[in-house]
Amino acid sequence: MRRCRCVVVLFDSWHSNKLLKRNTKWSHGSFTLETNSPHLVYQCCPMDPELQKTSQVLWTGPVSAGDARHLFLDLTFTLLSCLFPSDCREDFSVYLFQSDNEYARPRIHESVRVRIKGEKHFPTEYLDGPIDWEKLRRALNTVRGESLGPVSRSVFQLGFDYIGPCLLLSSFRVYYKKCPPSLHNLAVFPETTRGGELVLGQCVDNSVQMGLLQRRCGTDGVWGPSAGHCICREGHQTKGDVCEACKIGYYKDTPGHRDCTKCPTNSHSDTEASVSCPCLSGYNRTEAHSPSAACTANVTKSQLVPLNTGRSYRKETEEGRWQHLGISDSLKLNLKKVMVERSSLSLGQILGEGEFGSVYQGILKQSTGINQNVAVKTMKQGLDSKPELESFLREAELMQGFNHPNVLRLIGISLEVCSAGQIPMPMVILPFMPHGDLRSFLLNSRHRKNPVYIPLQVILKFMIDIASGMEYLSNQGFLHRDLAARNCMLCDSMRVCVADFGLSKKIYASNYYRQRAVSKMPVKWMAIESMAESIYTTKSDVWSFGVTMWEIVTQGKTPYPGIQNHEVYDYLNQGNRLKQPPDCLDKLYHLMFSCWFLNPGQRPTFAELRSLLQELLSTLPILEDQGEVYYTNTGAHRAAAQTTSRAEVGADDTRNFYVVVLDDDMDTGSDCERTLET
């Protein structure tokens, strides 16, 4: 554990003039009590014995609590000794009053009271004649880290009440503590103020998460022990707090803490981060041998061995296809785990086409003999450069680890050999969604000959499903970056699954991703900071979720009607947002609007959005006929409906994308967002 040095001061009596509401008991002046330089000192030394026994609180002005979750107090003061201790009543208290209204009048009975004890006192003669500040300084009491309790409101005021002969309040400050950024055992936890709450961590680049990675940030700024851990992935070894790629000539075939191993005899790896060492020319090892086995010379003639036309031959062909792809060893190894034989996959009609490929309906013959309806995503022929192939397959690599009812899962990968000499065409196999994408569903409900009303309960359920899926992705450390109704799919039970991870990114040491290349981006769904600085965080996905909520309420309308792509940023920067749709509940629009706050930190989390939407749904009557929502994209007209809606989506989506050109020398920023100290 590492003790926090991150202290955010909210109020310092030496640097603030917010002490208002003075009264007859309290006064102030500039003295050299605590230091040799004059500073502000507050004193409560009434001459009237009766006034000494009364309570009169000195209150600060309103102070913003900012991101604080728990407040602490440092205090320096000194007290006058009582002439007759038996008759002397002495009491020094600090009050914390909290409110959401900066103009609220502080009340003692609504405040938290903290009693302050002083061990040191000074005699009366210290105040007779010229004051000896050095002697008074030796009588100062210092209180450090006094807990004022948790923060429950946005504004607080501090009150001081003293009953007794004389108190000199030399200085005080109110602050909160943050747990610092932590990098330990390959696990990264961000700087946080969430005292007492569990914080999700992330594994460093080229490592694998084992179990749920979480850790509690204490209110005192100290991290507790972490649950879960990280290990370096294949082709990488632990070096300090990073996973280092295996050097050329070394390999590592499994995840774990062990170091890279030198290639066995008569084998060699030609690239860094190798997961195996191919045999040198003239040497081989059989499939039964482990990657650590040495390669031996070929001593038999191939013509003496009969060709095995069974399974081993197909495996060899499949291996050749993967080698022909020319992708990285680590990506190849990960995708082999979900490899599907091409012979078990049959392609049917085209469900949709895009700029980079097509989606087919297909049938997957399973080992049980049962046929499964699937959707097959393919790359367009001609898009066969290594970056394009890697990008296409990286999406599948991301998806293979997803396991959530509201996130589209990966079934497998297959390779199609088009013709001799050509690069095999990868095919991503996904669950078949008979109702298509959410936006097509919404458009079809509105553009039917007899438009159908979608009940509010169903609308909220769609939103809850998406928020739940995005909460899962966010907790896994993923940024979607292209959340929209068109990228959400509807399964048989009308459950929504978040899909299309072509722009998704896994973030590690930082809590953001900065795009540094030219790319087509969905401008009308992008957060304002993403358009301005190309920075993406979970909170920019929250912005996109707000736009998706607006799409759902309007049954698939295009955001910002009448506004061109190049005008969107200026429109938002002037404080404008999407207008409240007709018949949209105020509560629902307010929740939607909160996703578009200018400050990303003020936007809700996906967990909060899901909870608030569920709370809103619970106030509505339960639908008596659940079947009334199964009205579109079904039956004989399904194919026509999909064709019509997808044609509209295709034409409309082209207008809603634009090319973002970024400078290569842009500042990547710090690893965590800093909180300003005031």
Beta strand residue intervals within 469-569, DSSP E: 478-479, 488-490, 496-498, 505-506, 513-514, 519-522, 535-536
Q: What are phi and psi of 658, to 5 degrees?
A: -145, 160
- Answer whether 51's CB lies under 8 Å from 63's CB: no
**Which tokens sit at 654?**
């082209």
User: What does the alpha-carbon distance between residue 599 and residue 528 come to, in Å, rounded to a whole number?
Assistant: 10
Is residue 586 flagged as an active site residue? no
Q: Are strands 112-115 and 63-64 parallel, antiparallel or unpaired?
A: unpaired
Contact 573, 563 (CB under 8 A): no
Residues forming beta bridges with residue 8, ordered by sequence position: 176
Using CA atoms, how far apart are residues 232 and 196, in angstroms rounded to an integer?
30
377 known ligand binder: yes
Token code pair at residue 60: 């600060």
Q: Distance between CA 122 and CA 139 in Å, rounded?
A: 6
Task: Please pick, among 329, 465, 482, 541, the residue that the annotation labels catalytic.
Answer: 482
Q: CA 471, CA 459: separation in Å to the nearest integer?
A: 18
The burial class, CB within 10 Å (0-12 / 13-18 / 19+), for 582 is exposed
Question: How far apart (Å, rounded) are the C-alpha atoms in residues 346 and 332?
Answer: 23
Cα atoms in the 13 Å half-sphere on the side-chain side of 44:
27
* Angle, helices 538-553/438-447, rounded to nearest 10 degrees: 20
CA distances from 268 to 261, 294, 329 (A): 11, 11, 14
Instruction: In whole angstroms, give the CA distance from residue 19 to residue 172.
Output: 12
- Residues 25 and 556: their CA atoms lie apart, in Å, by 66
Please tell me the distance from the alpha carbon of residue 567 to that of residue 559, in angstroms, as a whole number.
13
Please choose, from the candidates 440, 426, 473, the residue with its C-alpha nearest in 3D space to the C-alpha of residue 551: 440
**Which residues does the annotation place in the binding site for ATP?**
377
Active site residues: 482
**Which residues does the annotation place in the binding site?**
377
